[in-house]
Amino acid sequence: RPSRGTHPGAMALERLGYGYEGQLPALRREEFSRLAEGKSGQPATVYLDHAGATLYGEGQLNAAMRDMCTNVYANPHSQSATSQRTTKAIDEARLLVLKHLNADPSKYTVIFTSGATSALKLLGEAFPWSPGASEFAYTLDNHNSVLGIREYAQVKHASIRVVDEDSPDKTLATFPGGASRATKAPTTRPNGHVAKNRHVATNGHVAKKNTAEEEDKEEENEGQEAEKNGVDEKKGAHLAADDVDNGAGDTCCYSLFAFPGESNFSGRKMDLGMISKVASGYLPRVWNGGNNEAG
């Protein structure tokens, strides 16, 4: 039996320079020694589920231990010195994530959740679906929890669209979201404005941010519209609150497009260019039967 650290497979990988420029065997020895064959003879572990829950390295544990033993961290929602230290650490972590993703902090933010399922559930619950106008589109190869967003969309009478990840302009299936389909024609709102369907990618951002005064005014208008049209808010129906005035007298409803950066089933990396195709309006126009010229 080969001694620890001299497994033929590991030596072959080292000779071939495989993984992290040939540093994978050394990384395994130094950071993940617990995977090696145990002293009592227990077999070595080959861990393959990094897509679901990657392992922590010994260096990470040591650095975290030093930090926690040196500093005092308190509830971030306070003004004490220890709380401010926590807030600063969280803000720095958000900036590191944005930097890694080449995302502009003025346009994007990071929300920490317990995992992908929790994040997608939060997205489905909080997304401003507009009945009969919003659409939830997603690629066929997707995270299982992305499919769960369909339930939130359908409750709000949003339509569903499944597209081909190889050719996202190709629709594989559609499911109507109610009597009015945003894909057939612009939907007229109770105030007479035309609701233009605007798609945003899951990591996209809304083009216009309302001020607090504008949001208060919107809520007031929503209540008046709901009362006038007999909307039962307890049943989840919502109208004008989900529409944002685009400055031209029209209102915009929002739709959602979801695709994985990397498939957690096959490991395949998706084309991130789909984000710009949605943001530019190209894919929504194709899906809605418009021309194929990117705008």
* Tens-binned pLDDT, residue by residue, of the chain (295 aa): 444 445 566 666 556 556 667 788 888 889 999 888 776 678 888 888 876 788 999 999 999 999 999 999 999 988 999 999 999 999 999 999 999 989 999 999 999 998 888 999 999 999 999 998 899 999 999 988 899 999 999 999 999 999 999 999 999 999 987 533 333 333 333 333 333 444 444 443 333 334 445 545 554 554 454 444 333 333 322 322 334 333 344 456 899 999 998 887 777 889 989 988 988 889 888 988 764 433 3
Q: Using the 8-state DSSP alphabet, how is residue 184 labeled?
A: T
Report the distance separating Cα 170 and Cα 280, nearest Å: 17
pTM: 0.60
Report the distance separating Cα 44 and Cα 25, nearest Å: 13
Q: Are 246 and 208 in contact (CB under 8 A)?
A: yes
DSSP one-letter string for 232-252: -GGGT---GGG-EE-SSS-EE
> What does the pLDDT read at residue 25?
81
> What does the pLDDT read at residue 210?
45
**Positive or negative torsion for Cα 11, 17, 19, 23:** positive
> What does the pLDDT read at residue 214?
52
> What does the pLDDT read at residue 124?
94
Q: Is 23 helix (H, G, I), strand (E, B) or coil?
A: coil
